[in-house]
Amino acid sequence: MSITAADVKALRDKTGCGMMACQKALKETNGNTEEAIEILRKKGEAKAGEKSDRQAGEGVIAVSGRTALVLQCETDFVARNEDFQAYAQELADKASQDGAEGATALFEEKKGEKVAAIGENLVLGAIETMEGGDIVGSYIHSNNKVGAIVVLQGGSEEAARDVAMHATAMDPLVANPEDVPSEVIEKEKGIYREQLINEGKPEQILDKIIEGKVRKFCADRALASQAYVKSPDQTVAEYLGDAKLISFLRLSV
């Protein structure tokens, strides 16, 4: 009997096991779903199904080269486990080498085994890869719950790492002030206008005041124009000097 992708998916939905484990079990039982479930239960992998609906609100960030991802679990206890963190790094390395699809396939392949061993539901969250530039630096906070990647044109890896550390702390919205989305700016303008009217400011000066407020808002939310955390007297762009900030990525759990 031929095993279809729909058969494998149906078994996975019932058990919560990885696609590869389900496919193997179906092959062993010539497509008999109930026998396949029994095989998975005997191997301990079907235990994953009992946990697949639990909320995975904890986890860690892992970075490999230009790629970062989120691996989620249920408790901070597991998130601090070295084996769990090593699994997250393995997935990040796979994503860096073979893309998000490669990491997802590896996650599905090992999910049943890992859930059975750890005893918690696991969820592979965002997988992001940065492009462009010629210098890349990354930083993960000591709790492994927030991390960033910064891409520069010119400069050094040390500088890129410093700016990535800044990004984890300050949570910028965009790389440069001009990158702030127009819809965000329009929303802020509306808020400022209402505030100023309520304060009794004359109508003829509202636009000028709003323009200044928007300029400050964009500067405050853009990584390049934020006051650099290690040296608040200069902006991130001033700290970078001749190096140009191309883009950044910040992920958190």
DSSP the chain: -PPPHHHHHHHHHHH---HHHHHHHHHHTTT-HHHHHHHHHHTTTTHHHHHTTS---EEEEEEETTEEEEEEES-HHHHT-HHHHHHHHHHHHHHHHHHHHHHHHHHHHHHHHHHHHH-S--EEEEEEE--SSSEEEEEE-TTSSEEEEEEEESS-HHHHHHHHHHHHHH--SBSSGGGS-HHHHHHHHHHHHHHHHHTT--GGGHHHHHHHHHHHHHHHHBGGGSEETTEEEEEHHHHHTT-EEEEEEEEE-
pLDDT given at position 57: 78
HSE-up of residue 221 (Cα within 13 Å, Cβ side): 16
pLDDT given at position 113: 86
For residue 109, the domain's CATH number is 3.30.479.20
Kindly state whether residues 169 and 238 are assigned to the same domain: yes
Q: How far apart are CA 3 and CA 249, in angstroms?
A: 41
Kindly state whether residues 232 and 183 are assigned to the same domain: yes
Kindly state whether residues 161 and 94 are assigned to the same domain: no
For residue 9, the domain's CATH number is 1.10.8.10
Give the CA radius of gyration of the chain.
24
Kindly state whether residues 98 and 168 are assigned to the same domain: no
pTM above 0.95, yes or no: no
Q: Which of 107, 129, 151 is the last residue of a domain?
A: 129
Q: Please say whether the beta carbons of 70 and 253 come within 8 A.
A: yes
pLDDT given at position 5: 82
Which domain range does residue 189 map to? 136-252
Q: Which of 99, 129, 159 is the last residue of a domain?
A: 129
Kindly state whether residues 169 and 123 are assigned to the same domain: no
Q: Which of 113, 129, 145 is the last residue of a domain?
A: 129
Kindly state whether residues 114 and 203 are assigned to the same domain: no
Kindly state whether residues 9 and 46 are assigned to the same domain: yes
Q: How far apart are CA 133 and CA 65, in angstroms?
A: 13
Kindly state whether residues 140 and 246 are assigned to the same domain: yes
pLDDT given at position 121: 86
Kindly state whether residues 123 and 148 are assigned to the same domain: no
The residue ranges of the chain whose pLDDT is under 50 are: 48-49
Please choose, from the candidates 62, 3, 7, 47, the residue with its C-alpha nearest in 3D space to the C-alpha of residue 27.
3
Kindly state whether residues 34 and 68 are assigned to the same domain: no
**How large is the angle between the packed helices 182-198 and 206-221, nearest 10 degrees?**
130
pLDDT given at position 48: 47
Kindly state whether residues 144 and 89 are assigned to the same domain: no
pLDDT given at position 2: 78
Kindly state whether residues 247 and 164 are assigned to the same domain: yes
pLDDT given at position 116: 83
Domain count for the chain = 3
